[in-house]
Amino acid sequence: MRGEGLGARGEGNPLSGFRPVASWANLRRRAELLRRLRDFFHRHDFLEVETPILSADTVVDRHLDPFHVEFDNRRMWLQTSPEFAMKRLLAAGAKAIYQVTRTLRQGEQGSLHNPEFTMVEWYRAGDGMDEGMQFTSDLCEVMLQCGPAERISYAQAFQEHVGLDPHTADTEVLAAAAKRLGIERPASLSADDRDGWLDLLLVERVRPHLGLKQPVLLYDYPACQATLSRVRPGDPPVAERFELFLSGVELASGYHELLNPAELLKRNERANAQRRADGKTTLPEKSRLIAAMQSGLPAAVGVALGFDRLVMLAVGAKSLAQVMAFPFDRA
Amino acid sequence: MASYNTSEFRKGLKVQFDGDPYSMIECNFVKPGKGQALYKCKLRNLLRNTVIDRTYKSGDSIEAADVEEIKAQYLYHQAGTFVFMDNETFEQYELSAEQVDDGWKYLKEGMVCDMMLFNNNPIAMTPPNHVVLKVEYCEPGVKGDTATNVTKPCKVETGAEFLCPAFVDMGDLIKIDTRTGEYIERAKE
């Protein structure tokens, strides 16, 4: 399958080799793309901002594991994304902001993952799903000289590639589909972990097909996977999220942002309960973002894009290591 | 029993299922940005040489296999059994013809090979990448024909047959790549 397949983990002696892994041609290309990216945001009147990488707050997500350090007996978190701080800026009056920053995530290493990576994140007040997806598609076109993104709903994609409705299918139906499609099931995936089964089917049977000819925006996710996005009521209710795919690679993830602080606290609690069940440590549920949301967050769309992956696709490389001077094994 | 957690997964890891030892020949990390991380692994059964696929969630673990790799000298062959000796402990190990597989083609007395032990029992051997073997029989060499793309069969001292260039003569020493079974060059010693 096409995907995060190719790379291997932790090969070779970590102390040998001082040289960069990426070629100079790729590193020059990387710098050019960064300039083009900043130029694109500048032309669209976005303000470039910088926010802390080390913070007292962290995103509470079942599947994101932040690094932490201690300072003056206080636990500080290395940011898995600059989301909280950027939303505080929005609540404080920002209209359109972006930043290019390093983000860190524990345990994520592979050909499409490096524990430390470069994220481009932007927010624009007043945008809804349509504007958010359009802007993401425009940016992708400018950066990669590709066509506009095709929009496919999560439900359509599952209907086409798995043959079921992801919003209504129960875990039994999802598990049966995985079996029918010959997907290797992780022994520890529990029979009632609906998100786990959806993720397995997405990774194995949906994602490899996305964006092979032109970029694809997958949108309207199952409500149970809303994380920090708004849920649009309806039958079925859907999470107002979208993700951009090109060549089966997930490039960007956008939310029509959740504005309700009480709902955020509820989701944090649920995420921590799942983390406990997964045998993971819990993360702080209260944060300055809650205060920002209580003071009033404007309706907005926020998008995070993996810059290393964008460069990788632009140069036609197969792994992030080929476009990073010093990937984790040489860090 | 020792085990490996997903964070320790890497190529070459030796693990076991149902009592059989496996080597991890591929391990790919896949994760939707907002979802469950999976490790998609390919594992080779070290006894049967078959390959299986296994998918793990982060935090899962696999039982470790007690697999050791040692250097062992080939001593002799008797009634379908190949006998080797660990040069450090002088311990002798026997492998069946099935376990030696194609390796017999290259085995000369005294040759030092890599040997794999599982729970202290030998399960496989690998000859050096290059071995020099004496040609015992082939059609007479064609003098002056230095082309290496014209080949003919030859039989070497181990009894195995290889393809060699037309200029090779009986009694010549030839170097063979044991990974491909291909002729490399004529050798002096």
Determine whether the interchain pair A108/B60 forms a contact, defined as Cβ–Cβ distance below 8 Å.
no
- Rounded-to-integer distance, Cα B186 and Cα B189, Å: 10
* Residue A13: band (very low, low, confident or very high) from pLDDT cuts 50, 70, 90: low
Helix (H, G, I), strand (E, B) or coil at A75: strand
Note the pLDDT of residue B147.
Answer: 73
Contact between chains at A227 and B34 (C-beta distance less than 8 A): yes
Among 2.40.50.140, 3.40.1260.20, 3.30.365.10, 3.40.920.10, name the CATH number for the domain at B130-187: 2.40.50.140
B30/A110 Cβ within 8 A: yes
Q: Which tokens go with A84?
A: 């909280």
A4 contacts B31? CB cut-off 8 A:
yes
Tell me whether residues B38 and A227 touch, CB distance under 8 A: no
Q: Classify residue B76 as exposed, middle or buried by CB count within 10 Å of its CB (0-12, 13-18, 19+).
A: exposed
As a whole number, the mean pLDDT across chain A is 93
- Nearest partner of A131 among A145, A147, A151, judged by Cα: A151
- pLDDT band of residue B142 (cuts 50, 70, 90) is confident
pLDDT digits (tens, 9 = 90+) for B77-136: 998 899 999 988 999 999 999 999 899 999 999 999 999 999 999 999 999 999 999 999
From CA A307, how far away is CA A311, in angstroms rounded? 6
**pLDDT classification of A15: cutoffs 50, 70, 90:** low
Alpha carbon of A303 to those of A71, A119, A253: distances in Å? 31, 10, 6
Q: What is the pLDDT of residues B37-64, one digit of tens each?
A: 999 999 999 998 899 999 999 889 999 9
Write the Ramachandran bin of A10: left for phi over 0, alpha for psi from -120 to 50, otherwise beta: left
Chain A CA closest to residue B25: A8
Average pLDDT over residues B8-35: 93
Q: Is the pLDDT of residue A3 over 70?
A: no
Residue B74 pLDDT exceeds 80: yes
Which residue out of A184, A190, A225, A280 would a mutagenesis test of the B interface target, given it has the greatest number of B Cβ atoms within 10 Å? A184
Fold agreement (B67-126, B130-187): yes
The more confidently predicted of residues A5 and A102 is A102
Residue A184 and residue B53: Cβ atoms within 8 Å? yes
Q: Are the Cβ atoms of A110 and B53 closer than 8 angstroms? A: no
Domain residue limits, chain B: 3-63, 67-126, 130-187
Alpha helices in A44-128 (DSSP H): 83-91
Instruction: Indicate the residue of A8, A113, A207 with minimum beta-carbon distance to B27.
Output: A8
A-facing residues of B in 65-84 (CB < 8 A) are: none
Range among A4-8, A34-38, B14-18 rated most confident: A34-38
Whether residues B11 and A9 touch (CB distance < 8 A) is answered with yes
pLDDT of A16: 65
Tell me, what's the pLDDT at B59?
A: 86
Kindly indicate whether the domain formed by B67-126 is annotated with CATH number 2.40.50.140: yes
Tell if the CB–CB gap between B35 and A225 is shorter than 8 Å.
Answer: yes
The least confident of A136-140, B63-67, B85-89 is B85-89
**Is residue A311 within 8 Å of A120, Cβ to Cβ?**
no
Residue B3: both structure tokens together? 């085990």
Pick the CATH number of B3-63 from 2.60.120.920, 3.40.50.720, 3.40.50.1110, 2.30.30.30: 2.30.30.30
According to DSSP, residue A191 is labeled T
Establish if A208 touches chain B: CB-CB under 8 angstroms.
no
Our CA-based measurement puts residue A8 at a distance from the nearest CA of chain B, in whole angstroms, of 6
Residues from chain A that touch B40, judged by Cβ atoms under 8 A, are: 5, 184
**Amino acid B141: pLDDT:** 80
CB A139 within 8 A of CB A308: no
- Report which secondary-structure segment, H or E, holds B22: strand B20-30
Look up the pTM and report it. 0.83
- pLDDT given for residue A10 in this prediction: 43
Q: Is the pLDDT of residue A4 over 60?
A: no
**Percent of chain A whose predicted confidence (pLDDT) is above 90:** 90
Phi-psi sector, A258: left (phi>0), alpha (psi -120 to 50), beta: beta
Chain A residue nearest residue B61, CA to CA: A188
Partner-chain contact A63 B30, CB within 8 Å: no
Q: Give dist(CA B122, CA B118) in Å, integer.
A: 6
**Strand A116-125 to A216-222 pairing:** unpaired
In chain A, which among 276-305 make CB contacts under 8 A with chain B? 278-280, 304
pLDDT band at A17 (very low <50, low <70, confident <90, very high): confident
Residue type, B49: N
Give whole-number Cα distances, B2 to A127, A184, A305, B64, B100, in Å: 53, 25, 40, 5, 29
**B positions 11-50 inside 8 Å of A (CB):** 11, 26-38, 40
Q: How confident is the model at residue A9 (pLDDT cuts 50, 70, 90)?
A: very low
